[in-house]
Amino acid sequence: MQIRELKIPDSYEVTPKQFGDDRGVFLEWYRFDRLAEAVGHSIDLRQANTSVSKRGVVRGIHFADVPRGQAKYVTATHGAVLDYVIDIRVGSPTFGQWDSVLLDGVDRRAIYLAEGLGHAFVALTDDATVSYLVTDTFDAQREHGIDPLDPEIGLVFPPEAGEALLSPKDTDAPGLSEAAAAGLLPTWDDMRAYYASLDAKEDRA
């Protein structure tokens, strides 16, 4: 398993080692110990989600209030998506920037993003099936969104995605600046302190 930090701090691309023979393929798509080495603490998983999307569907940009927030470990178990991590932490050196990872059934990569980061993806195939491991259960009152078409962020969807299909909830979400002005976004300093508290908890365990 290879783990590479993305250009957005506290997000990682995970590429598993695949073992194939005439029966098929075996791989470890999640290893808590390897991820903890990269992140600095173990991930306390509390819920697993799956979504199935038509080609062109865009889900996100989503994030949750911290604490606890929702760190996410995401992979595609069927089809392909382009997965985005967006830095929405006010004061971050990469605030408003994003990075992306292709998740598909070929390389079978995963992406990890820490609490306080924005998450979105666009389906590149029909029946694109995405599975998420997350560190807190869903709480509608603590969940928020940012318009994935916000030009200030400038997500780029690849041509193979076709026409973007979005839910009213996502298109009605505020833009990045509007969300910041409303006090919805986490701050870089608060998130650094929160990550440090998780690291310290690991050291005491």
List, for residues 12-38, the tens digit of each pLDDT value.
999 999 999 999 999 999 999 999 999
pLDDT digits (tens, 9 = 90+) for 144-168: 999 999 999 999 999 999 999 999 9
Delimit the domains of the chain by residue range. Answer: 2-204
Does the annotation count 144 as an active-site position?
A: no
Q: What is the pLDDT of residue 202?
A: 72
* Average pLDDT of every residue of the chain: 96
CATH placement of domain 2-204:
2.60.120.10
User: Which of the four pLDDT bands, split at 50, 70 and 90, describes residue 69?
Assistant: very high
Q: In whole angstroms, what is the distance from residue 121 CA to residue 144 CA? A: 16
Q: Which of 41, 84, 112, 132 is catalytic?
A: 132
Backbone angles phi, psi at 84, to 5 degrees: -120, 140
pLDDT surpassing 60 at residue 205:
no
Backbone angles phi, psi at 60, to 5 degrees: 115, 180
Backbone angles phi, psi at 64, to 5 degrees: -130, 155
Q: What is the pLDDT of residue 201?
A: 76
Does the annotation count 78 as an active-site position?
A: no
Q: What is the pLDDT of residue 204?
A: 64
pLDDT surpassing 60 at residue 100:
yes
Strand, helix or coil for residue 108: coil
Q: Which of 41, 62, 119, 144 is catalytic?
A: 62
